[in-house]
Chains A and B, each alone.
Chain A
Amino acid sequence: MTNMRSRLADLPHGRITKTFGRIYLETKGNWAALAQRLQGVFGIVSVSPVLKRELDLDQIKEGAALVIQDTPGQTFKVEARRPNKAFPLTSPELCNALGGHLLRNFPHLKVDVHNPDFVLNVEIRQEGAFLYSQVIPCLGGLPAGSSGKGLLLLSGGIDSPVAGFLSMKRGVTIEGLHFYSYPFTSERSKAKVVDLATRLAAYNAKGSFKLWIAYFTEIQKALQKTSYPTLSITLMRRFMLRIATQLAEREQALALITGDSLGQVASQTMESIHVINAVTTTPVFRPLIGMDKQEIIDVAYKIGTYETSIQPYDDCCTVFVPKNPATRPRLDQVLEAERELDVEGLVSEAIAKTELVQLKA
């Protein structure tokens, strides 16, 4: 409910109350705008616009006609519940009365109690009669912030925002970590990541998002000098995970989240993931591991990150790609290569120069 309140803060609405797995939101005639907003809140399975009428059969009939006139379909049935036993008609009697009324007023409709196109729901309660027929499916999942905190490695690409979204769907609160290599990459590539993070913020608890920008330039420079150029991507990824692990520990995040999809690029083969993952004992979530590119793109479209992701600004993953990156790196070779580097010094410098950007949806 807190998430709902913060998502609806700028739209006029009435009280929000909770009963038996449902949440009631009183509207001020702007239900469509509110419903659209709620379609982006995790933990809500569906939204239905509900009409309230006095406990009077004629008024209920009139309301029933109003409710179903916008509902598509040819066949219907009426389902009534009557927690308020003071109402004179029983539930079956009410169903009959309303069904008859609708059949008389909408000649194209037929009753089908087994497989109707839509259901007119009526609830007779103390405060009045509640009628609804539309069911607008929402995101489902668990409410934002109901799990724990995770740190998302956010590049400027298509995949990582989707990985963040899917983790948030299961209640994870996300913070982002971006590796910034200016002047090898441009200001614009940072602006792009900020834009992506702002879009993700809408799904986060309270609509806020912490974006950490790690200073990655020195590490990139060091990696260009390695005597193992085919391993440079593997080495770079290991640096990223090390920085992420230390930051997650400091910020009390319980897991790291990456946009890896198995076999998509050289650093996402099983061998690469194995060698890269070896630097951390923090759990690494990879929600996209079994998704094909097109499936990932479909989600990116839906959550509005695709258009930003495909802008052609380089990020650290595209500027420094070696000609033949190793697809099957071996841990012993990687350790050998890291012996040339001041791993600890570079990692602490990157973390020391990490900046925080606080974003609001």
Chain B
Amino acid sequence: MRNEIYLDNSATTPVAEEVVQAMEPYWTIQYGNPSSPHLRGVAAENTLNACRKQIGAFLQVDPSSLYFTASGTEANNLALQGVANIPYFLRNPGHIITTPIEHPSVLKVINHLEERGWSVSYLKVNEFGQVDANQLATLLKPDTKIVSVMLVNNELGSIAPVQEIGRIIEQENRERQHKIVFHVDAVQALGHLPLRIPELKVHLCSFSGHKIFGPKGIGLLYVDRQVPLRPILFGGDQESGLRPGTENLPAIVGLTKAVQLVTENLEENLRQLQNLRQALIDGINTIPNSRINSPQEGAPHLLNASFPGVRGEVLVHFLEQKRIFVAMGAACSSKKKGVSHVLESIGLLQDELMSAIRFSLAPTITLDQIQYVVYSLKETVEEIRNIYV
């Protein structure tokens, strides 16, 4: 277990030891329901409030603007469908601007909204999956109601100019009666770059626990007070009625601890991740006929690369025999099924698409391990290329 090198942290991370410890009492001792009137319930409610307050402090936002969900996917759904469910928009569907490289939990919601009468425009991305903020002005329409852009792309690590986009929207909103709502999917950004929500000028921002060494089954949505978001699930009054369902207190405690750890250790982690990533880039560049698909100035934990002539899936399985776990960049079969919409939209050639691999790092990885990965990668790519003539 310990001699494996796990480079698929963008899929999910192991849970940090401190997080497990923090969660522990909330399964069997502090198991109360925050809605219960008795002391057990009050204790749970106090914990819930404390967690919200702490995360608010770490993210520098008002705690009452934070809503716990069951996943990052649910946070994205709540953000977009929650706007679409505002009574005025139920009668008057509007226009959405997004990018072609969003996570499926954004793109598919938008497809669904199209069925409900919304129209969509996509910001173009360049060959590294980067968005030019100035494009936004050309796409804005009088009935534009939502702009949704992910901060760090989960396949490439490209970083969107969210701050500039936020500024443009803020200016635009001054002259509008119906304001544009700006949603940012920050699931891959948390812990990987300095994140100051107030400076980003976003109205809705999604997070997830299990990408930052927290537990699975917990997500978070920041909701600016001005947005009259509507629920998409109906039930009890939890989370101010915006997200009914008994609060998952152990996971909320875990998320709080995880946010604390990635915030407090941010600088140190970034330095380590940047060193690891650069070592990986330098190593891959020594492999003949290889291609780095991620931008040089991308998120420090993520690197996407192609090795034409080597099918991504086969490379994954060869590397797993050496106890190195990486993600397939694009497709899992010769059939079209499963080809990455992200890699397609940055215009990779068929051969580059089929041979793409994603490495996602964690600060616990060492430089020695990266050297071993590079060595194994080189050897394996050569081996596979020899087999396929």
Interface residue ranges, A against B (CB under 8 Å): 182-186, 221, 224-225, 312-314, 318-319, 321
Contacts and interface: CB of A to CB of B under 8 A. Distances in A.
Given A224-B389, A312-B338, A186 B317 contact: yes
B88 interface: no
A186 B313 contact: yes
A183 B334 contact: no
A312 B335 contact: yes
A314 B313 contact: yes
Contacts of B389: 224-225
A183 B337 contact: no
B334 A321 contact: yes
Given A183-B317, A314-B332, A319 B311 contact: yes
A321 B333 CA distance: 11
A224 B387 contact: yes
B337 A312 contact: yes
A184 to B, nearest CB: 5
A182 B313 CA distance: 11
Contacts of A183: 314, 317-318, 320-321
A319 B332 CA distance: 10
Contacts of A225: 387, 389
A318 B389 CA distance: 18
Contacts, number: 37
Contacts of B321: 183
Contacts of B318: 183
Contacts of B333: 312-314, 318
Given A185-B317, A221-B387, A318 B337 contact: no
Interface string B307-329: 00001011011101100000000
Nearest to B311: A319
Contacts of A321: 334
A87 B149 CA distance: 85
Contacts of B388: 224
Nearest to B334: A318
Nearest to A188: B332
A182 B316 CA distance: 11
Interface on chain A toward B: helix, strand, loop, or mixed SS? Answer: loop
Nearest to A321: B334
A58 B13 CA distance: 73
Closest 8 CB pairs of A and B: A183-B317, A312-B333, A183-B318, A224-B387, A312-B337, A221-B387, A184-B314, A224-B388
A312 B332 CA distance: 7
Contacts of A182: 317
Interface in B314-371: 314, 316-318, 320-321, 332-335, 337-338
A313 B337 CA distance: 11
6 contacts: A183-B318, A313-B332, A314-B333, A318-B333, A318-B335, A319-B334
Nearest to A184: B314
A319 B314 contact: yes
A314 B335 CA distance: 10
A196 B335 CA distance: 21
A280 B309 CA distance: 35
Nearest to B335: A312
A318 B337 CA distance: 13
Contacts of B314: 183-184, 319
A125 to B, nearest CB: 60
B332 A184 contact: no
Interface in B366-389: 387-389
Contacts of A312: 332-333, 335, 337-338
B318 to A, nearest CB: 5
Contacts of A184: 314, 317
A341 to B, nearest CB: 15
Interface in B284-326: 311, 313-314, 316-318, 320-321
A318 B334 CA distance: 7
A313 B338 CA distance: 11
A227 B314 CA distance: 23
B320 to A, nearest CB: 7
Contacts of A319: 311, 313-314, 334
Nearest to B314: A184
A68 B311 CA distance: 63
Contacts of B335: 312, 318
